[in-house]
Chains A and B, each alone.
Chain A
Amino acid sequence: MSDLDPLDPLLIAEDWRSHGRSVAIATVIATWGSAPRAAGSHLVVDQDGNFEGSVSGGCVEGAVIAEAQDVILTGQSKMLEFGVADETAWRVGLSCGGTIRVYLERLG
């Protein structure tokens, strides 16, 4: 018996991949200050930009999904950082004022 959420991102990633879709997994590695999603949280993305899960309260998901396309193409893992001191962060708006580091990798 399993009581995992059917929308569990890691179950979805496995399902997508085994159906031939290309998938990247984003994981929150560290947070500083106020951040809505704890370290270890996942967001999974496919080659068409479909995604499930979250790495923030919706502030930086767009940027992560865009970067994921690159990771899916090259297979090169990436470390992304978003925060108030970061120019990108102003653009994507981490409204809570914290900083987060996100690891992006391709699912092999």
Chain B
Amino acid sequence: MDLTSLHALNIARKGRHAAVVVTDLDAGGERVILEGETVAGNLGDHVAEAFRSGKAAAVDVAGCHLFLNVYLPPPRIVVIGAVHISQALARMAPLVGYDLTIIDPRTAFATPERFADVDLVADWPEDVLGRRPLDAYTALVAVTHDPKIDDFPLTDALRKNCFYVGALGSRKTHAKRVERLSGQGLDQQAIMRIAAPIGLDIGAATPQEIALAILAQIVQAFRRRDIVTAA
């Protein structure tokens, strides 16, 4: 591999951009392709499939033996609301390999005492997400119940194509939310992507169990996201 190629790949990975490296196994040499670049012909189909599945594969294109390696950004979770559920979620997420950030402008909730060793930002989501934008490899979990805090990040997550968007609240609360978001010009198909009531239906009763149900739903959304895109 060329050092220039490796450098380009590492820059992409540091910036949370998905990349595919195509290596010619017979002749040597490689090409770094970033997500969004168009690649013509048969190779283009293989590259698109690699981005979708996230799986490396050896393929034959026009008599050449190629290896396609895929580098997807590590998935992460952004939680809106420094509540009891978030405390449990913050402890569980690292076990499954997810980075986690909690945002809540209410300084009574967002205290370092309640969230030791957690990436916690006591500020409005509008401000934080401007500095640290959401992306397709981020799961957005909104759990404050407060439209003033939750609505903006939910809308932003749908527009930035986050692989998972979940919102806490009863069916009744969610029905009102759907009405508000429709009023803000989001189409029904986008709004339907919000997981609400949040979490897999495992009959969760405690904040810890709800956190588990949310985390399981996030893993499911990420591992099956190719099926979602194909639908």
Which residues of A come within 8 Å of B, CB atoms? 1-4, 8, 10-11, 13-14, 17-18, 25, 27-30, 38-40, 77, 79, 103, 105-108
Contact = CB atoms under 8 A, between A and B. Distances in A.
A10 B58 contact: no
Contact of B56 (A40, A79, A107): A40
Contact of B1 (A3, A39, A108): A108
Contacts of A107: 1-3, 6
Interface of B: 1-3, 6-7, 9-10, 13-16, 23, 25, 28, 55-58, 67, 69-70, 74, 76, 99, 132
11 contacts: A1-B132, A4-B13, A4-B74, A29-B25, A29-B67, A40-B56, A40-B70, A77-B28, A103-B25, A105-B23, A107-B3
Contacts of A40: 55-56, 69-70
A19 to B, nearest CB: 12
Q: Which 10 A-B pairs have the closest CB atoms?
A: A40-B56, A2-B14, A39-B56, A40-B69, A108-B2, A3-B99, A14-B6, A77-B28, A107-B1, A14-B10
A3 B58 CA distance: 28
A50 B175 CA distance: 58
Contacts, number: 64
A13 B57 CA distance: 22
Given A2-B15, A10-B10, A28-B56, 14 more contacts: A3-B74, A3-B76, A10-B6, A11-B10, A13-B6, A29-B56, A29-B67, A30-B58, A40-B56, A77-B28, A79-B25, A103-B25, A105-B23, A108-B1
Contact of A39 (B3, B7, B13, B57): B57
